[in-house]
Amino acid sequence: MATQTASAAQTHQQLFIGGAWGEAASGARFNDQNPFTGEVIGTVAAGTREDARRAVEAAASAFSAWSRTPPAVRQRIFLDAATILERRRDEVVGLLARETGCTFGFAMFQMGFVPGLFRQAAGLAYAPLGQVLPSDNPGTFAMGIRRPVGVVAAIAPWNAALILSARSIAAPLVAGNTVVLKPSQDSPFVGGLLWAQIFAEAGLPDGVLNVVTHAAGDGSTIGDEFAENPKVRRINFTGSSSTGRRIAEAAGRNLKRVVLELGGHNPLLVLRDADIDYAVNAAAFGAYLHQGQICMSTRRIIVEAPIAEEFSTRLAAKVAGLKMGDPLEMDTIIGPLINQAAFDVVSSRVSDAVKGGARLLAGGTWNGLVYAATLLADVPESSDLARHETFGPVAALEVVANEDDGVVRANASAYGLSAGIITGDPDKGLALADRIEAGIIHVNDQTVADEPQMPFGGVKDSGWGRFGGSAALDEFTELKWVTVQSGSHPFPF
Ligand code: NAD
């Protein structure tokens, strides 16, 4: 298998198709930019639909052999990939900062998560893939057998680039599928080509994993290829709800199943019996980790009236003290937003909300693409900030009279990804959790958490399907009903 040894993105990076590194068919390249400094850290091949088609062909050719690979081989490849990634830890942490503006703490979280994801995937190679089913027909032995689906297209975002791209390929590959990964134009290396390097070194056969990078604006035609090419049997998409809707529409027209992991507008309920110090720390972590660029970020903090004043004063003071600046400095909490377009959305939504009557309790300032941690109260119900996910370090505080009103407000959203409930009474928290419309709910914790084996996904506009452990195996396998008759049985004619 061909290898590319350049370890970082300072050089030119090529597409990885059929086990070979190469330029895009058009020969075009694009710049990979550091969002904090604006520096060009490398150039990357700008793939198009034609390259995506070649990658699907390569994946389709590799499928038959890979789907029959013994579990021991798949397990060994995933274990080796985990070890190789850990060996490259310092380089990858630096690249996460330089390519995606990721602060040290969140980069280390990603670096801890992904080796665990790969080691658990290694275990899944031996997961039972079927059941014996009782039949009412004498002499019939019936089974439900899970088989890989074929080529899986994986579309990943930039925001937790390492975790989300790794998650998009791990379960599909270990279940015996072949994959074409399309990373975001904002994370072509740490969200894509890195995996081509690591899995090639781990011995993954040619064509089993293919990576097609592309410049801004070309994601949709590559997505169209995935939706329309009959050799692609599943698409998994992690990204915004608006893009997910487009992909679901295109996939639906082609009767293709998709897994959609989309945006969130996640509520944190702080009840009157909460430990206020703990609640303040939880809310700040949930809202501002990775400068609020996490699908699970706490966006709406809903607090019961009796503790509202004390809680909001303490939270505002904490938020105002969060250090902003260079993500390469280890104590930076708030690094840059990913690009100018993201910055413009955040700043215009905050200023519109303030014009509409919202009160700024902290933040609202910026330096370059670094937008300060911002806390607002009295955000008008009709504002974009109140209605939509705003992917940055901005949270809205709201006061409710009691916990029932809190549940109503928590559910007053088109989204349903993650929620948190902070209370001194875990039993009450559990009862409330049952009433909240979200795919993920944490009692006595904020909204941001992930472990590779947990069923991860949302309801409503936050998506369909689940990643994580055996839930992901179900998404990327097809259940076949197979019977064997012992002897013959009578037919009516
Ligand atoms: P995005 O929707 O802009 O892009 C996501 C991916 O889709 C990128 O690779 C992009 O190039 C690609 N893309 C864009 N248009 C496409 C099209 N028409 N067809 C095919 N692909 C297309 O999202 P983003 O800004 O990269 O990521 C942030 C969003 O992702 C936020 O909304 C966040 O909440 C969400 N997200 C969800 C989860 C989850 O697990 N639920 C995790 C992380 C991020």
Q: In this predicted structure, what is the pLDDT of residue 163?
A: 98
Same domain, 149 and 257: yes
Q: CA-based angle 65:67:71, to the nearest 5?
A: 110
* Alpha helices (H) in 185-303, listed in sequence order: 194-202, 219-228, 241-253, 276-288
Ligand 1 centroid distance, CA of 221 (Å): 15
Locus of tokens 């902070």: 422
Ligand 1 centroid distance, CA of 278 (Å): 32
Same domain, 239 and 274: no
Locus of tokens 């579309």: 155
pLDDT tens digits, one per residue of 378-392: 999 999 999 999 999
pLDDT tens digits, one per residue of 73-115: 999 999 999 999 999 999 999 999 999 999 999 999 999 999 9
Cα(140)–Cα(158) distance, rounded to whole angstroms?
51
Q: Which residues contact 113 (CB under 8 A, 6 or more apart)?
A: 162, 163, 450, 451, 452
Same domain, 96 and 25: yes
- As given in the structure block, the two tokens for residue 98 are 């330089």
Same domain, 270 and 257: no
Same domain, 185 and 157: yes
Residue 156 Cβ inside 6 Å of ligand 1? The answer reads yes
DSSP of 435-476 = TS--SEEEETS-S----TTS-B--EETTEES-BSHHHHHHHT
Q: Which atom of ligand 1 is nearest to the CA of 184?
A: 9
pLDDT tens digits, one per residue of 331-363: 999 999 999 999 999 999 999 999 999 999 999
450 within some domain: no
Residue 220 Cβ inside 6 Å of ligand 1? The answer reads yes
CATH for 270 = 3.40.309.10
Cα(99)–Cα(87) distance, rounded to whole angstroms?
20
What mean pLDDT is predicted for residues 299-317? 98
**Contact (CB, 8 A) for 166 and 118:** yes
Same domain, 229 and 275: no
Same domain, 206 and 162: yes
7 within some domain: no
**Contact (CB, 8 A) for 469 and 455:** yes
- As given in the structure block, the two tokens for residue 372 are 């300060």
Torsion over CA: 367, 370, 373, 379 (sign): positive
Same domain, 239 and 133: yes
493 within some domain: no
Ligand 1 centroid distance, CA of 204 (Å): 27
pTM, two decimals, is 0.96
Q: CA of 342: how far to CAs of 35, 97, 241, 296, in Å? A: 11, 17, 15, 17
492 within some domain: no
Torsion of CA 94, 99, 104, 110, to 10 degrees: -100
Q: Which residues are catalytic?
A: 261, 295
Residue 295 Cβ inside 6 Å of ligand 1? The answer reads yes
β-strands 15-17, 130-133 pairing: unpaired
Residue 389 Cβ inside 6 Å of ligand 1? The answer reads yes
* Alpha helices (H) in 188-339, listed in sequence order: 194-202, 219-228, 241-253, 276-288, 305-320
Domain range holding 358? 266-443
Identify the band that residue 8 occupies on the pLDDT scale cut at 50, 70 and 90.
very low
